[in-house]
Amino acid sequence: MDLSDQLKNLFPDHKPSEIEPETPKSDIWMQEDPIICKYEKRKGKPITILEGYSGADSDFKKLTKELKTKLSVGGSYKDERIIIQGDYRDKIMQMLKNKGFNVKRVGG
């Protein structure tokens, strides 16, 4: 006897309904132009810089926070650029592509 049979015995009047799962809509503005992902060293420390995103300030902050929490690293949003501490170009590019952004790698 599996779980569905047990539930039918407990709740004989219940009719299961099929609920279509909703696709999650992104609350971040998507753009056509590619986001440029590049690598630099500042004061001997590696950083990843994302440029070319033309969303609102709130969208920048949401995107920055999401990247920082998923990668568990520090970073900031300044002068329409997202700066992430460390060389995470491959991971960031994959995350942005999964969200639907067009990403271009520059340098190295």
- Give the model confidence (pLDDT) of 13-66 as tens digits: 877 677 655 545 566 767 778 889 999 999 999 999 999 888 888 888 898 999
| Tokens 């420390």, located at residue | 45
CA dist 60 and 31 (Å) reads: 13
**60-104 pLDDT per residue, tens:** 889 899 999 999 999 999 888 999 999 999 999 999 888 888 999
Q: Which residues pair with 42 in a beta bridge?
A: 45
Rounded distance between C-alpha atoms, residue 44 and residue 41, angstroms:
6
Helix (H) / strand (E) containing 2: none
Residue 29 is encoded by which pair of tokens? Answer: 């503005």
**What 3-state class would DSSP assign to 14?**
coil
pTM attached to this predicted model: 0.69
Query: What is the rounded (10 degree) CA torsion for 49, 53, 54, 56?
Result: -80
Query: What secondary structure letter does DSSP report for 91?
Result: H
> What is the distance, to the nearest Å, from the Cα of residue 86 to the centroid of all Cα atoms in its chain?
17
